Structure formats: C-alpha cells, structure tokens
Amino acid sequence: MPKPEGPQFFGRRKGRPLRTQLKTLMQTKLSHVQMPATAESLANLPQLFPHAPDDIYLEIGFGGGEHLAALAAGQPEAGFIGAEPFVNGVASLLRHMDERALQNIRVWPDDIRLILPSLPEASLAGAYIMFPDPWPKRRHASRRILNQDMLDALATLIRPGGHLRMASDHPEAKIWLLAEAMAHDKFTWQAETPSDWQNRPKDWPQTRYMAKGDREGRPSSWFDFIRN
Ligand SMILES: C[S@@+](CC[C@H](N)C(=O)[O-])C[C@H]1O[C@@H](n2cnc3c(N)ncnc32)[C@H](O)[C@@H]1O
C-alpha cells in the first residue's frame, strides 16, 4: 500500500532480528489489524473495529505495547489505535494482543504524523504520549513529538472533554511536555496538587520506560490534560 509522504522520523525503526514467533506474527497478524492509510478509508474509525466502539483512544509511540495492551484489556468496549515505527515494538504489541486475545486494537506501524491529517475531526476520546524520546538538546528540539503543530492536530481530533495524557521520567522532557501543552488554549492541565502529577493514576498502566526510569532512580511524572 503506498504510504503518505510526511516529516522525517529520527528514531530507530529496527532492532535485533525478530525471533521466529514474532516474525510469524508480523507476517500473519499485522495485516488484519493494520490501520489503512488513506483519508477515505479512515473516514469512519469505529468501523475499523469489530464492535464499532463509541470511544477510541490513540497511543503515540507505544514502544513494546504493554501500556496499550493493558488499556485495551481494561476497556474492551473501547477501541485503541497504536502508532509505533519501531518494528520490534510492533511485533511485541502483536504478541501481547495474541496472548491476551485482544480484538480492540488497530495498529499504525509507522510515524503517526503520516495519518494524523487524515483522521476525522473529534473522532478520539483521548490520546496518550508515554515517555516520549526526550531530545534534550536545544538543537534537537524540532524532533520532539509534542509541539504546537501536534497539539493543533490533537485538538482537532480529541473531542471536547476528552483527555491528552502524557508521562515522562526525563527532567527535560517533563518540562517541554508541560510547557507545550500549557501554552495551547485548547488543553487544560487537570492537576490541583503535586500528588496529581507525582503519582501514577490507577487507570494508567505501567510502561517499559517507566520501569527503566524507576530502576535508574528517575521518578516519573503524569500529566492529564482535558480538551476544552
Ligand atoms: C522512549 S520510547 C517510549 C516507548 C513507550 N511509550 C514506553 O513508555 O515504554 C518513545 C517511542 O516513541 C516512538 N515514536 C517516536 N516518534 C514517533 C512518531 N512520530 N510516531 C509514532 N511513534 C513515535 C519511538 O519509536 C519510541 O518507541
């Protein structure tokens, strides 16, 4: 299928060669759960799922997919779209989906920015950006996944009252995530007390990078914004 052209992606697309089980999953399962690429085929998101869900959530950069799989398992009535260009991460998500028999996830195995403009307005109940690549150097700031363009796109896609949820263990990334989102007039930060951002909310599953941050002594922060 031809891919839409888009911005440059600076992360990793490939890691270690996939084990046979994961390679087989990529060959047999991905095509059944892969998001289409054209605006026409994305015009009715609920119909991409077997149960035409009312609420559809997006996770940008799902890594190994453990957070997305846990969300999907906890809310079988909802639909979830996951985007991740790292092949080994996509294969790992397919394994979680297979092991937990999850039917409510659709996968975009590439840069999310390629399909964002084609997703229908107000089609999402929320979006997650968990532990994004920090790109702490100033000269790499343009590589950060959250910026005003991304927030404009998410403000169009997330319906009023929906959530934009983000987390990080990286001191610089925490600052740019908060600063960018607080600067956008369509999103309002929900925190009232420090415990609202210092403690992981019960309904936010753990992620691999969160566990790594914990092991290496970097506490995570959790940011919950509402689409006004
Ligand atoms: C630091 S990892 C975090 C992975 C996972 N969220 C976690 O917490 O374990 C950031 C992930 O975002 C993905 N990513 C970066 N830019 C992206 C983009 N434009 N679209 C989709 N995923 C992206 C990367 O490939 C990478 O897997």
Tell me the catalytic residues: 133
- What pLDDT, on a 0 to 100 scale, did the predictor assign at position 3? 61
Report residues whose beta carbon is within 6 angstroms of any ligand 1 atom: 9, 11, 60-63, 83-86, 89, 111-113, 130-133, 145, 207-210
Residue 39 lies in a domain: no
- What pLDDT, on a 0 to 100 scale, did the predictor assign at position 10? 85
The Å distance, Cα 77 to ligand 1 centre, comes to: 25
Mean pLDDT in order along the chain per 10 residues (228 residues): 72 90 94 96 97 98 97 98 97 97 98 96 98 96 97 98 97 97 98 94 90 93 97
- What pLDDT, on a 0 to 100 scale, did the predictor assign at position 88? 97
Residue 204 lies in a domain: yes
Q: pTM for this one?
A: 0.96
Closest ligand 1 atom to the C-alpha of 66?
Answer: 9
| Containing structural domain, residue 101 | 20-34+47-227
Please name the residue whose Cα sits nearest to atom 19 of ligand 1: 111
- What pLDDT, on a 0 to 100 scale, did the predictor assign at position 2? 55
CA–CA separation, 184 and 147 (whole Å): 9
Residue 78 lies in a domain: yes
Residue 168 lies in a domain: yes
Residue 40 lies in a domain: no
Residue 11 lies in a domain: no
CATH number, residue 120: 3.40.50.150
Structural domains of the chain, count: 1
